[in-house]
Amino acid sequence: MKLRTKLILAQSPLAVALALVGVVSGTVTTRLGEQTGHILADNYRSVLAAQRTKESLERIDSHALLVLAGHQAELGAGRYRTELDNELRAQEKNITESGEANATARLTSSWTTYKEVLDRFEAAPSVAERDQIYRRDLGPAFQQVKRGADDLLAINQDAMSRKSEEAQRSAERFKHLVTAAVILAALFGLAASGTLTARLLRPLGVVGAAVRRFGAGDVKARAYLQGPDEIAQLAAEFNAMADHLERYRASSLGDLVRAQQAAQAAIDGLPDPVVILDAEGKVQGVNEAAGSVLRIDADAPAGQQFKDVDIAVQALLDRLRAHVIASRAPYVPAGFEEALRIETMGAERMFLPRATPMYGEAGIVGGAAVVLQDITRLFQFDELKNNLVATVAHEFRTPLTSLRMAIDLCAEQSVGPLTAKQQGLLFAARDDCERLQAIVDDVLNLSRIESGRIDLNKLAVQPADLIDQAIDVHRGSAEQKQVTIHAEISTGCPEVFADPDRLQLVFTNLLSNAIRYSPEGADITMQARANGHSVRFDVSDRGAGIPVEHQAGLFEKFFRVPGSPAGGAGLGLFIARGIVQAHGGEIGVLASAGSGTTFWFTVPAASDG
């Protein structure tokens, strides 16, 4: 059944009640009407008959009196006699009250008597006789008829007033009856309609409750309704929708949970601490290593998560997060020197930080995943290797020096004459020995720089002295290649605050490269000039230059431009950079292929030192 039909049916008790009230009031009205009709039919006609009887009687009497007074006119009462007869006949047919039949009979007989006397009166030959008849018979007969009519009138008037009162009482009763009927019908109608409507709307409540439960998160909530109406259809639609959503939720949630567990298991499996931070620096997640090594409590409320964490670790995490968010790019450490030392479980360990941005839905960096790579073992190996290399290099030095002295003595023929061939071989051996010595020196300096052990004996030095000394050292090799070295010191160039021996190493490296890569007979310029709070030194040659793509790696360890002549280990520029940086200066290169190379570096001026 359709909802509309049901709604109409639910209202039907009210309609029935209304009809009932209608029927009751209809009946009551009819009954009241009937009562009034009865009064009219029963009594009004009799009253009319009595009155007309009296009226006609009066007329007849008046005529009789006129005749008596000598008016010899035709009595002319025939019309009234007929009327009276008619009225009496009508009255005889309308006897409704008790005593009315008797009264009517009495009236009829007295009228019959009157008519006989009247006939005699009319027939009397003389006035005297008429007068006598009138006085003796007609007058009393007249009174008799009149009384009879009055009796009839009284009976009917009494009946009328009695019936009228009765009708009034009935009307009063009917009023109560109708009122009671209206109240009962209204109560019954409302109660029945209310019950039916409530029953009708109960399914809506079932649907509503299911929707509410579903909305509150109970994905199993369904509305179970049978039937073909619209509410049952609505329930069926809702159930279908809930099934879909439940399936969708089960699948997407399940996938999400599995993905999250897999991701957590993966990062928990990593031996290196992993910390996931949001854009505000709040910890979103950590792996087990981060919990145990860094002592980060990801489950603690914001502000408590770093309670037990080292200040340096906090600062590092903040720095990496800020870097990743600002640059929208991963953070990659430049080298071992960025390693962070962390005391954990009584041992000191080294961690190299890396960070990767985590993108939100809108492509905005919403946080950073920081990995602290445990490089303790690597670091130890590196240190071991450095120590080994330093020890070996150190052990090489003394025998190399005596070897070179021995070769020198032999080559200079201080210990005996040599053939030209022998002398040539010894000169070559001396060159190799020198190169070997230079490499051993480089290696020793390298290990010093790498271990951060460069002790500087700084003092105020004139840049001109430094340059002159460097030129002096390389005069021999420059002359050998017919290269001229020019020194240009700008006026007002301040003294530098530096370790002159270490700076000589920088000059040596740059100048020996310049000589080596200069064409024969070319010029080399060495300049010094004030540069803010420091002094800038330039070493420029007219060599082949360095291709741009190789310039970035020049200062790295063991880097050599491909195709460079043999003889170096690619350590010179690395050592030069280490020494310049130890002084607090900077180093760089200006080179373009084909038009020479200029290496420059800065050293703080003495006034600032």
The footprint of ligand ADP (CB under 6 A) covers 509, 513-514, 517, 541, 543, 546, 554, 559-561, 564, 568-574, 597
Angle at 472 between CA 567 and CA 560, to 5 degrees: 25
User: Quick one: 434 or 608, whose CB is closer to ligand ADP?
Assistant: 434
Give the neighbor-by-neighbor strand order of the sheet with 283-286.
Answer: 283-286, 274-278, 365-374, 347-359, 340-344
- Residue 414, phi then psi, degrees to nearest 5: -75, -20
Token pair belonging to 208: 């509503």
User: Quick one: 9 or 569, whose CB is closer to ligand ADP?
Assistant: 569
Angle at 465 between CA 462 and CA 466, to 5 degrees: 90
Q: Which residue has the tokens 């190799």?
A: 432
User: Quick one: 110 or 509, whose CB is closer to ligand ADP?
Assistant: 509
User: Quick one: 133 or 511, whose CB is closer to ligand ADP?
Assistant: 511
User: Quick one: 305 or 509, whose CB is closer to ligand ADP?
Assistant: 509
Helices (H) and strands (E) in the chain, counts: 15, 12
Q: Tell me, what amino acid is at 322?
A: A
Q: Which residue has the tokens 């996931």?
A: 276
Q: Return the half-sphere exposure (C-beta side, CA atoms, 13 A cut-off) of residue 319.
A: 12
Could you give the CA distance from residue 52 to residue 107 in angstroms, rounded to a whole number?
13
Q: Which residues pair with 443 in a beta bridge?
A: none
Q: Return the half-sphere exposure (C-beta side, CA atoms, 13 A cut-off) of residue 320.
A: 30
CB of 334 to ligand ADP, least distance (A): 18
CA-wise closest residue to 463 among 540, 541, 536, 512 = 536
User: Quick one: 193 or 512, whose CB is closer to ligand ADP?
Assistant: 512
CB of 585 to ligand ADP, least distance (A): 18
User: Quick one: 109 or 595, whose CB is closer to ligand ADP?
Assistant: 595
CB 43 within 8 A of CB 94: no
CB of 297 to ligand ADP, least distance (A): 49
CB of 340 to ligand ADP, least distance (A): 29
User: Quick one: 32 or 561, whose CB is closer to ligand ADP?
Assistant: 561
Position closest to ligand ADP via CB:
568
User: Quick one: 215 or 562, whose CB is closer to ligand ADP?
Assistant: 562
- Element housing 340 (H / E): strand 340-344
CB of 258 to ligand ADP, least distance (A): 54
CB of 575 to ligand ADP, least distance (A): 8
CB of 335 to ligand ADP, least distance (A): 17
CB of 477 to ligand ADP, least distance (A): 14
CB of 365 to ligand ADP, least distance (A): 39
The 8-class DSSP code of residue 565 comes to P
Token pair belonging to 522: 């070319």
Beta-carbon contacts of 175 under 8 Å, excluding residues fewer than 6 positions away, are none
